[in-house]
Chain A
Amino acid sequence: METPLLVFVLLPLVLGGAILVGLYILASLMPGVARQGKAAEVTTESVPARGPEYVQRRARRSAAYRQGLLVFAGLVVLSIIEFVLASLGSTALMFIMIVFKAALIMYFFMHIASVWRTEEAH
């Protein structure tokens, strides 16, 4: 069995896919394709940068960012515990850590609850 064959099959597929995507992105950057506007023209704020609504939005936004950061910190801590537990040889406890990690990712990052939510889109 020739081992470098991994190169022959996987590399072409991966590289070919990457090249295709690259071409696609390049093609879409070219003039002539319909463009709704450049990045610079896009307004970063849809709400005027003043007033109570703006303050409220800012607060909501930073709360959302903070939640992401907290979940990430939790995942890091759990991963470290998982690694330490594995070095100690405690597979069962390690598995519990894995389940916790999976639950955190599914609940906070993947919004699994939204599958059952019916009233609104996001």
Chain B
Amino acid sequence: MSAIAESPQIQVRRNRMGMWLFFVSEAFLFGGLLISRFFLWGNTRPELPQVVPLAITGTLLLSSFFMNRAETAIANDDRKTFQRSLLITALLGVIFFLGVMIFEWGWTIEPDGTFLLGNHIHPTSGVYGAVLYGMTGMHALHVVSGVVLILIIWNLGRKGKYSADDHWGVEATAIYWHYIDLIWVFFYPALYLIGTAVPAGH
């Protein structure tokens, strides 16, 4: 029944509104995590090395730049830059994810083949471990989904799906990716900058 179908402009406007409502909803999820952090940690934080968080924060920021570049490119019919920027974004996203996994969570493979977790802080180390792993884990889950979306639109773009007039898929993925970056803008200082550092084993 085609009478229900609206013009693409109207549908895109609805999609955009729906996407932002989804962000509002997600903000309550991440806000709940932030509240948990302040409720449980108060004005303290675990003493952790500062280099890795700073590096992965920069990575995510850079990936956000490339995502914006990709969206600008497709809006201006520059396909080559679009495809390249998308791949770079996905790569930086994966680097961010692995940075959290390997350096921050400290997953290492021992010579005997077993995994070892937590060279800085252990997930079961009281509330410090719980909140750190809970917040980075929830964020990392979103990063993984964002990378998946980017790879999907990269593949569709490779097939010539998007154009300057019709690229809602790209826009949705882009604002989702920026949203992930936005969450990290709040999570990073909450986890690593605010409060008095409590050394391990005090």
Q: In their complex, do chains A and B touch, with some C-beta pair under 8 Å?
A: yes
Beta-carbon contact of B65 and A68 below 8 Å: yes
Beta-carbon contact of A3 and B161 below 8 Å: no
Residues 10-38 of chain B, each 1 if its beta carbon lies under 8 Å from chain A, else 0: 00110011001000000000000000000
Chain A residues, CB < 8 A from B78 = 44, 61
Q: Is A30 an interface residue (CB 8 A)?
A: no
Given contacts A17-B144, A17-B148, A94-B193, contact A57 B123 (CB under 8 A): no
Q: Which residue of B lies closest to A117 (CB)?
A: B13
Beta-carbon contact of B9 and A121 below 8 Å: yes
Given contacts A3-B124, A68-B72, contact A120 B65 (CB under 8 A): no
Q: Which residues of B are interface residues toward A (Cβ below 8 A)?
A: 8-9, 12-13, 16-17, 20, 54, 57-58, 61-62, 64-65, 67-69, 72-73, 75-80, 83, 105, 107, 114-115, 117-118, 122-124, 133, 137, 144, 148, 151-152, 155, 158-161, 163-168, 171, 174-175, 178-179, 181-182, 185-186, 189, 193-194
Q: Which residues of A are interface residues toward B (Cβ below 8 A)?
A: 1, 3-4, 6-7, 10, 14, 17-18, 21, 24-25, 28, 35-39, 41-47, 57, 60-61, 64-65, 68-69, 71-72, 75-76, 79, 82-83, 86, 91, 94-95, 98, 101-102, 105-106, 108-112, 114-115, 117-118, 120-122
Q: 12 A-B contacts, Cβ less than 8 Å apart?
A: A3-B122, A4-B115, A6-B105, A17-B148, A21-B151, A37-B160, A41-B160, A64-B72, A65-B69, A68-B69, A110-B175, A110-B178
